[in-house]
Amino acid sequence: RISVAALPRVVGSTLRVPLVTGERVEYANLDHAASAPCLEQVRDAVDELLPWYASVHRGAGFASQVSTKVYEQARTSVRRFLGARDTDAVVFTRNTTDALNLLARSVPKHTAVILFDTEHHAALLPWRGPNVRRLRTPASPATAVLDLDRALREAPVGPRLVVVTGASNVTGEVWPVAELARVARRHGARIALDAAQLAPHRPVDVRALDVDYTVLSGHKIYAPFGSGVLVGRSDWLQAAEPYLVGGGATSRVTDHGDRLGVAWSAVPERHEAGTPNVVGVHALAVACDVLGRSWEQTVEHERALLARLRAGLATVPGVHELALFGAEHDRVGVVSFTAGGQDVGYLAAALSAEHGIGVRDGAFCAHIAVHRLAHGERALRASIGLGTTEEHVDRFVAALRTLVTEGSRWEYELRDGRWAP
């Protein structure tokens, strides 16, 4: 048995929410994959920084010096968390979406981009045009590797970039990143890892995986203060136009009458124009430090809860779990399923209103993946993490069983597109 006391703690674990009956119950947050709750240590670190909060880099005052130090030290925490190379740039962004858009804007012209079509929209959509090749997601990790190998053989000469997720936000399945990176390397391609869903659950080692770029979001690693990061090779980022233009991205601006002379800063400042999110970046860095110190307990805790969740779901009539690579494949704490044709929007609403359980329904910003795996239906997703307890899982499974077998004693109607009792 694992000691729950050894796990990093999250805020809100005793939160009580109102039910349709008027009672209040402890909130069961089974939507960690969308946004994880805040770590207590992150909250405390933010609280401690707030009196010292000031503008970074350009201020001469003491608070500004403190904020600048905290902001720059955050790069070291992220680097350590990901095992990044000393030469990698660490660019702070708003989230994973922002980081991937930054990367997409920074690749050399005519870069051939190869990715699988079931990616999250944040990874799928920034790449458009004739140089993008979308591969149909294969039935097994081994086929993914073979398909990528073939695509890279056929890719035009010149810079190439493979974009792959570490763990699916729909099925939680872990992708064979190291194997895909090996293939990319063999063909002289670079590889970018979307670690938004992997990083909250498993250690990510950039050097061991041999990936060139890694992106993640603070709010998914228990630091919900609006920050994300792109870590990776600095040459393309250094050669690219700034992602945003403005203060910080420029080292010198001169007036030449009919035009301005502008010298852009070097990375990372080149792509961090404007006043940065010091608080969010500090929160992200502290979350990296805390998670990085407790992987053994975190992985074990989640493995046990996920097994309990999946075993419970398997006993609910009509529930069909979605999987790209099969039920036995390694996955992090995310499970999506259909429920025998029942409206998943109604089920999600009833789980909340009658049982105080938060899940997510729909297609999870991965429309192609959900559409294909759920055969055109929408799905329900339960995702676990450090805020999840055995009681949450058991309550969820029992509530779902009651709803699909007996229905609800409340009448539900659609209001503004959502079911409500």
Which of 41/336 has CB closer to ligand PMP? 336
- What number of chain residues touch ligand PMP (CB under 6 A)? 13
Closest approach, Cβ 242 to ligand PMP, in A, equals 20
User: Hey, CA dihedral for 306, 143, 233, 208, is it positive or negative?
Assistant: positive
173 interacts with ligand PMP by CB under 6 A: no
Which of 360/395 has CB closer to ligand PMP? 360
Residues 84-103 that bind ligand PMP (CB under 6 A): 95-97
196 interacts with ligand PMP by CB under 6 A: yes
Asked if 394 contacts 312 with a C-beta cutoff of 8 angstroms, the reply is yes
Q: Which of 365, 374, 379, 399 is catalytic?
A: 365
Sole binder of ligand PMP in the list 106, 165, 214, 383 (CB under 6 A): 165
Which secondary structure element, helix H or strand E, spans residue 236, and what is its range?
helix 234-239
Sole binder of ligand PMP in the list 173, 194, 289, 361 (CB under 6 A): 194
Closest approach, Cβ 165 to ligand PMP, in A, equals 5
Which of 100/316 has CB closer to ligand PMP? 100
277 interacts with ligand PMP by CB under 6 A: no
214 interacts with ligand PMP by CB under 6 A: no
User: Hey, CA dihedral for 347, 350, 351, 352, is it positive or negative?
Assistant: positive
Return d(Cα 388, Cα 398) in angstroms, integer. Answer: 16
What amino acid is encoded at 239 in this protein?
A
Which of 85/121 has CB closer to ligand PMP? 121
Return d(Cα 221, Cα 10) in angstroms, integer. Answer: 11
Asked if 28 contacts 392 with a C-beta cutoff of 8 angstroms, the reply is yes
Which of 349/366 has CB closer to ligand PMP? 366
Sole binder of ligand PMP in the list 123, 151, 221, 313 (CB under 6 A): 123
Which of 93/111 has CB closer to ligand PMP? 93
Residue 37 DSSP class? P
Distances (CA, A) of 377 to 167, 333, 363, 382: 22, 22, 9, 17
Tokens of residue 209, six digits: 């995986």
Q: Is 288 considered catalytic here?
A: no
Sole binder of ligand PMP in the list 29, 111, 169, 227 (CB under 6 A): 169
Which of 95/277 has CB closer to ligand PMP? 95
217 interacts with ligand PMP by CB under 6 A: yes
> DSSP string of 73-132?
HHHHHHHHHHT--TT-EEEEESSHHHHHHHHHHHSPTT-EEEEETTS-HHHHTT--STTE
Between 363 and 402, how does the x/- string for binding to ligand PMP read (CB under 6 A)? --x-------------------------------------
User: Hey, CA dihedral for 276, 280, 281, 282, is it positive or negative?
Assistant: positive
Q: Closest Cα partner for 335 from 203, 170, 214, 207?
A: 170
Between 314 and 343, how does the x/- string for binding to ligand PMP read (CB under 6 A)? ------------------------------
Asked if 187 contacts 160 with a C-beta cutoff of 8 angstroms, the reply is yes
Q: Closest Cα partner for 323 from 369, 361, 365?
A: 369
Return d(Cα 388, Cα 4) in angstroms, integer. Answer: 11
Between 14 and 33, how does the x/- string for binding to ligand PMP read (CB under 6 A)? --------------------
Catalytic residues: 365
Binding residues for ligand PMP (CB under 6 A) = 95-97, 120, 122-123, 165, 169, 194, 196-197, 217, 365
